[in-house]
Amino acid sequence: MKTIPKVGGGASVAQARQTVLTILGSRARADSRALAFGEGRSGRSLTYGELGRQVEEWLQAFAVHGVRPGHRVGLRIRDPLAFTVGYLSVIGAGLTAVPMPPEAPATEAARLAGLLGIDLVVTDRPELAYTTINWPLESTKGSWAVPAGRRPPPPRPRPGPDPALILLSSGSTGMAKAVPLSEGQLLRVARIISHHQDLGPGEVGYSPLPLFHVNGQVVGVLSAIVSGSALVLEDRFHASDFWAITASRHVTWLNLVPAMLAILGAAPAPREPAALRFARSASAPLARAVRARFEETCGVSVLETYGMTEAASQIAANPLAKAERRAGSVGQPLGVTVRVAAPGGRATMPGEVGEVCIAGDNVVSEYIVPGSAEGRRPATDAGGWLRTGDLGWVDPDGFLYLTARTDDVINRGGEKIFPREIEEVLLSHPAVAEAVAIGVPNDVLGQTTVAYVTSRPGIAPEVLTEHLAELCRRQLSAYKRPERIVVVAALPKGATGKVRRMALKEWAVAQADGRVLPTALVPG
């Protein structure tokens, strides 16, 4: 199969020269009273004029207290509006932003700071002590105060250029990698997203995703400022008042993950959300049954996309026009070139499964090696290709379909099983809310399959497992059928809603050995 070229969203020369500061300045001059960012539950808002003034205050504070390019600034901020101002200020000042999970224990934050060479931390959690961080800024009554007489150490010499942003990513090996992204890469992808989604003044997005991940930053915050649109943020997802917030804020598009779509799709929206153009789905594979259920019950179409930290968030997306989208596909490449490679590097034919590889200006060329003796190592091969660790195939029109992660494929006696195929069958049952299939060790076959599901109210676990076993017998070949189907109260997930498959594998082994299951795995 030929390489799939990048399509659409090219930036003009003038746009390519823009920075976060020049963009914010032009937005404030164009319409200082226009909404820039809001918070859903509290009702607080920032206009572009207010945003510009607050960023300027941060820049002045940095200058007065000796914070300059070369310093790495940890952002451990729970409040979404404060995080947004801090994030834009740090990048605008030419510093390196290192977003940190706001809810992580102080010891974990300190370990992360030491690992990534953070020089100072801005936080709205001053009750937490940072014993290994050189120069903490603390929040006082909602404003940023610098302890008197405290100055950060001079920037330490490091190999390579200073990035605008450093994010940790598990990449394709499961080992944490520090991904350096430049301001140019971040803004370029944000422009591609805003162009593709037809964002501009008058558009209002709603993103209840964590801001210490690349999706919330680029798809959310940066696409809003480059397009001059507005974005409503939330520190966490709440289904109870979700539709009330979208109505009161006149939201026109949603930035969600499949787990949120599954929860919202369990009950109809309280009123027809006529203003909503689409719900964007990313961060994890979206099952067809979850998509269909959400669209039918909520009356909002889903725009499936695909991205990763190493590509500054976006790799592919379906067309904005609903009639041109393809169910089950994550769309066509946007801003990157995609190549699906067979073992040995051969390019695949249409419909043939291989590993998804990406290349382009938006793709990082190297990783930072965390630790005191910091170095860099290549992220791409000699041809400039980054292996994503995702398996998939393309159709003749260049639409990409993902099947599994390379390390999630189940090998049962030499037969390769893609978990998503099993999960799609299980999710087609109306009583199943979530489903995950994993491979567990087997002395004879190497691996066998165990499926975990969460259920909707009204059906007993033992009845549901019988129904699902029969469903699998009708729709799956014998070797693909799960050896066990377990109904659980909840699935272990990360901050972006991705299921932690490794935790499930550990729990499956524990259950097989007769050990006590964690509370989350007590049958629902």
Residues 90 and 30 in one domain: yes
Counting the structural domains of the chain, the total is: 2
Residue after which a domain boundary falls, among 351, 369, 394: 394
Q: Is 253 within the bounds of a domain?
A: yes
Which segments of 432-490 does DSSP mark as H helices, in order? 461-475
Residues 382 and 426 in one domain: no
The answer to whether residues 132 and 93 touch, using CB atoms and an 8 Å cutoff, is no
Which segments of 197-330 does DSSP mark as H helices, in order? 214, 223-227, 242-248, 258-264, 288-298
Q: Mean pLDDT over all residues of the chain?
A: 86
Cα separation, 364 vs 109, whole angstroms: 25
Tell me, what CATH number does 327's domain have? 3.40.50.12780
Residues 80 and 221 in one domain: yes
Tell me, what CATH number does 456's domain have? 3.30.300.30
C-alpha distances out from residue 137 to 120, 121, 143, 390, Å: 7, 6, 11, 40
pLDDT higher for 125 or 499? 499
Residue 415's pLDDT is what?
82
The number of CA neighbours under 13 Å toward the Cβ of 214 is 29
Q: 438-484 pLDDT, tens per residue?
A: 988 887 788 889 999 999 888 899 999 999 999 999 999 888 999 99
Sequence-distant (≥ 6) Cβ neighbours of residue 143 within 8 angstroms:
none
pLDDT over 90 (residue 55) = yes
Residues 334 and 421 in one domain: no
Residues 321 and 364 in one domain: yes
Spatial strand order of the sheet with 45-47 comes to 45-47, 35-39, 230-233, 204-207, 253-256, 278-281, 302-306, 316-317, 332-333
The answer to whether residues 465 and 487 touch, using CB atoms and an 8 Å cutoff, is yes
Residues 18 and 113 in one domain: yes
C-alpha distances out from residue 218 to 114, 174, 190, 379, Å: 26, 23, 6, 21
Amino acid present at 348: T
pLDDT higher for 303 or 114? 303
Domain that includes residue 478, residue range: 408-521
pLDDT tier at 166, thresholds 50, 70, 90: very high
Residue 303's pLDDT is what?
97
Q: 399-434 pLDDT, tens per residue?
A: 999 988 888 888 888 788 888 889 999 999 999 999
Q: Is 49 within the bounds of a domain?
A: yes
Residues 322 and 414 in one domain: no
Cα separation, 134 vs 113, whole angstroms: 10
Burial grade of 483 (CB within 10 A; 0-12, 13-18, 19 or more)? middle
Nearest C-alpha neighbor of 136 from the set 123, 117, 148: 123
Residues 101 and 194 in one domain: yes
N-terminal to C-terminal alpha carbon distance within the chain: 46
Task: Using DSSP, state whether 295 is helix, strand or coil.
Answer: helix
pLDDT over 90 (residue 107) = no
Residue 487's pLDDT is what?
93
Please tell me the pTM assigned to this model: 0.84
Instruction: Please state, as a whole number, how many other Cβ atoms lie within 10 Å of the Cβ of residue 112.
Output: 22
Residues 373 and 448 in one domain: no
Residues 233 and 272 in one domain: yes
Amino acid present at 236: R
Nearest C-alpha neighbor of 518 from the set 484, 490, 485: 490
Residues 500 and 378 in one domain: no
Q: 350-378 pLDDT, tens per residue?
A: 999 999 999 999 999 999 988 766 888 99
The first and second tokens of residue 277, run together, are 């153009």
Residue after which a domain boundary falls, among 366, 394, 422: 394
Tell me what the mean pLDDT of segment 84-113 comes to: 89
Q: Is 116 within the bounds of a domain?
A: yes
Residues 446 and 301 in one domain: no
Q: Is 400 within the bounds of a domain?
A: no
Residue after which a domain boundary falls, among 371, 394, 417: 394
Q: Is 7 within the bounds of a domain?
A: no
Q: Is 3 within the bounds of a domain?
A: no
